[in-house]
Amino acid sequence: MAFGDTSQDQALRDAWNAFCDELKRSADDLFRDPIRVTSPTERAEAFRYLTQAVAQGFLWHVENETMPEHPWLLGLFNPVKKQAGDKSMSRDYGAYVDGRRDYRIVGQRGGAPWIALTALRRPDPSDPLSSAATWNEPWALVLDSEPLLGPDIVVEPDGNFEIVCSRQRPPNARNWLRITDETNHIRVRQLFDDWNREEPMSIHIERIGGEAGEAPPPLLAPEQMIFALRKAANFVRKSTSAWGPPPLEGRIENDMRNMPVPPSRIGGIDANPGGVMAVTWWALAPDEALVLEFTPVPSLMWSIELENVWWVTADYRWRLVEVTGAQAALEGDGRCRVVVAQNDPGVPNWLDTAGFPEGWVRYRGMLSQDMRGPEWTSRVVKLDALMESLPPGSRKIGPAERKAQIAERVAGVRKRYRD
Instruction: Answer yes or no: is pLDDT of 315 > 90.
Output: yes
Report yes or no: 203 and 20 within 8 Å, Cβ to Cβ: no
Average confidence (pLDDT) over 119-134: 73
CA distance 281 to 358: 7
CA distance 89 to 93: 14
CA distance 228 to 15: 9
Burial class (CB in 10 A: 0-12, 13-18, 19+), 302: buried
Tell me: the pLDDT tens digits for 217-265?
A: 899 999 999 999 999 999 999 999 888 888 878 888 999 999 887 666 6
Residue 379 is predicted with a pLDDT of: 97
Report yes or no: 121 and 180 within 8 Å, Cβ to Cβ: yes
Handedness of CA 178, 180, 186, 191 (dihedral sign): negative
The one-letter amino acid code at 242 reads A
- Measured in whole angstroms, how far is the alpha carbon of residue 97 from the centre of its chain? 20
The one-letter amino acid code at 332 reads G
Closest listed residue to residue 380, CA positions, set 287, 318, 270: 287
pLDDT band at 128 (very low <50, low <70, confident <90, very high): low
Tell me: the pLDDT tens digits for 39-94?
A: 899 999 999 999 999 999 999 999 999 999 999 999 999 999 999 889 999 999 99
Residue 205 is predicted with a pLDDT of: 97
Strand 103-108 vs strand 160-166: parallel, antiparallel, or unpaired? antiparallel
**pTM (2 d.p.):** 0.93
Instruction: Answer yes or no: is pLDDT of 141 > 70.
Output: yes
Lowest mean pLDDT, pick from 285-289, 294-298, 364-368? 364-368
**3-class SS at 28?**
helix
CA distance 293 to 337: 5
Helix (DSSP H) and strand (DSSP E) numbers for the chain: 5, 19
CA distance 144 to 265: 9
H or E segment at 232?
helix 222-241
CA distance 180 to 102: 10
Closest listed residue to residue 346, CA positions, set 289, 413, 266: 289
**401 Cβ contact list (under 8 Å, min separation 6):** none
Closest listed residue to residue 282, CA positions, set 258, 317, 306, 312: 306
Tell me: the pLDDT tens digits for 331-363?
A: 999 999 999 999 999 999 999 999 999 999 999
List domains and CATH numbers for the chain: 9-241 (no CATH), 257-416 (2.60.120.1600)
Find the angle CA(237)-CA(86)-CA(62) to the nearest 5 degrees.
45
Closest listed residue to residue 366, CA positions, set 193, 187, 140, 186: 193
Q: Which residues of 87-124 are buried (b: 16+ CB within 10 A; e: fewer)?
A: bbbbbbbbbbbbbebbbbbebebbebbbbbbbbbbbbe
CA distance 338 to 303: 11
